Structure 1
């Protein structure tokens, strides 16, 4: 399953580049994620907690970071398992930074590939998961923006709220509502199109 997302951070590129090298700090901006230990060479052990209705999973595993300063891009890769739901996850996400707004802000482009197995794999449908990932990207960007202080040398430490479980229920409801809105919009366009066709035919009959 491939996921592509883009968001902006209201800080200069050089600062965002430095911040994204701090894996524990970045993990604190992702709901449900915590890091346990450093293994060296930008590799860490950690967990991410997920709640879907009555299902609660806690994936434990390892994450690593590789960066290319010449291209302002990096790759995060990780895998984890949850014994309670017999589920496993594997992901690789590459990000690339671009300066925008005359260097006052930074655009972050993310291309990720995620695979799920086990009980939670049923939530891996592309339409829903893409909507969820979009909302997660917005939450991550908001957390990252709020935790970067106005002082270039000082960063606000992640709060304990970031360690809470990633509540898929809320994201899923939002994703489903967005899908319902798209379906209704499609139906309205279809009905409008048929209405125009009927009126056109009717007009022709009247002229005859």
Structure 2
């Protein structure tokens, strides 16, 4: 069973009773997949408090913490990939290995990646570049799926002044290019999917 707890205060006695009841009933694992939310669980102390509460009070294994997706109206919750990397490093050694969560980025068109698995990172502009090592069913006929680099963008407010200035000057152009790439990838995916469905 996967829970979705993002703050130590949410690990109430009721949550602990429910989790322990599941374990007592024979459920092998109760794991937590949370989301990193700026100011809620993004300091070393906040994340460790949450992990200890999950593990010690409720028997819930801290499993993954995702970077918040690049979605509208969520910028205030997001942290940069660099901040996530520092956070992953800062919690190492405090928890048993099996209870040390992985901090991951769910990169569009790539999927879950540990935050240290990026190929390249422009920290000033907040653009990280990722690759994938597998094809999904809809990419079987896409020869570039494993060669392509996929972008993930840090929140603007997390960037240094020079990076924020660059985005103010270039945002329209960069966004248009990113949209063209995304639309092209979506079309290729749809075409591959249609071919896959048509072959059955």
- TM-score normalised to structure 2 length: 0.24
- TM-score normalised to structure 1 length: 0.24
Q: As a proportion of its length, which structure holds more helix?
A: 2
